[in-house]
Amino acid sequence: MSKGRPRSSEVFFPKRSLGQNFLVNPRVEQEIIEACALQPDDIVLEIGPGKGVLTRPLADRVKKVLAIEKDNYLAPQLEKEFAGTNVTIEHADVLKYPFEQLPAPMKVVGNLPYNIATPIIEKVLVFRHKFSVFYMTVQLEYGNRIVARPHSKEYGSLSCFVQYYARAQKLFKIPPSAFRPSPKVDSCFLSLRMRPEPARKAHDEEFLFKLIRACFSQRRKMLKNSLAVIYGKEEGEELLRNLNIDPMVRAEDLGLEDYVRLANRGL
């Protein structure tokens, strides 16, 4: 018997390394499916189907589901269960899966493995032109950082990065008891609606996010001091004044559009 494939008499132990917290509350499952407002002609990419609790109701509602599961035991089980249906199981690592081969447009749904939530979100956003919306379950504190607005302690480079490409909305909170094993913290269900274009476009997106990270890496500092690292002391302060931004404010006081204005003027 190959490694990772227990005999049927063996017990399946959830793997922490794969962020396995399985949904076990049917009411929450239903809430998630209803929140996705799916249409019969939708094509859905499911990330981490696990034991298929979301896959089944998704398959009932949409035209096609493509579900990517890395677990060496669960993926073959799912392949067997869904053979000959409108569900295709891909036994693969979502981070290595060739998204360029996916059909479009798709909706993405996933109760995400918490340990790789950021690279998954980054990958979906890189391929955003394939997707209309990304529904996800993540840890509440992390979700709060994604949807955070300026002037809050949760607002940071993650909020700016995600909100540049998508409209992020927290839909509802999920208690630890909805999962097995139960995580130590609350989770939440979020939607990211892809923006066809950012509200204000950066000339150089890589530079924009470098600038944002530099400002938030010293979030207690005044902006004029954080910007000195990138533009030099005098130029940074002058740039802020030219853009009518108070040099004494801190990173969390600037909205995303202000960062784009800063980045565009700094080229």
Q: Which residues bind ligand SAM (CB under 6 A)?
A: 18-23, 48-51, 53-54, 68-71, 74, 93-95, 111, 113, 116
Q: At what angle do helices 205-216 and 256-265 cross, to 10 degrees?
A: 120
Closest distance between ligand SAM and the C-beta of residue 145, in Å?
19
C-beta of 93 vs 204, nearer to ligand SAM = 93
Q: Would you say 258 and 243 are in contact if contact means Cβ atoms under 8 Å apart? A: yes
Q: State the CB neighbour count (10 A cutoff) for residue 246.
A: 12
Helices (H), the chain: 26-35, 55-61, 74-82, 117-126, 140-147, 157-165, 205-216, 223-231, 233-242, 256-265
Q: Which residue is nearest to ligand SAM (CB)?
A: 48
Closest distance between ligand SAM and the C-beta of residue 4, in Å?
11
Closest distance between ligand SAM and the C-beta of residue 237, in Å?
44
d(CA 208, CA 123): 18
Helices (H), 148-222: 157-165, 205-216
Strand partners, 168: 192
Closest distance between ligand SAM and the C-beta of residue 93, in Å?
4
C-beta of 30 vs 152, nearer to ligand SAM = 30
CA-nearest of 206, 208, 210, 221 to 253 is 221
Closest distance between ligand SAM and the C-beta of residue 116, in Å?
6
C-beta of 181 vs 232, nearer to ligand SAM = 181
Closest distance between ligand SAM and the C-beta of residue 56, in Å?
11
Run of H or E residues at 133? strand 131-139
C-beta of 135 vs 164, nearer to ligand SAM = 135
d(CA 136, CA 37): 14
Q: State the CB neighbour count (10 A cutoff) for residue 50.
A: 23
Closest distance between ligand SAM and the C-beta of residue 67, in Å?
9
C-beta of 49 vs 236, nearer to ligand SAM = 49
C-beta of 20 vs 226, nearer to ligand SAM = 20
C-beta of 21 vs 226, nearer to ligand SAM = 21
Q: Would you say 132 and 194 are in contact if contact means Cβ atoms under 8 Å apart? A: yes
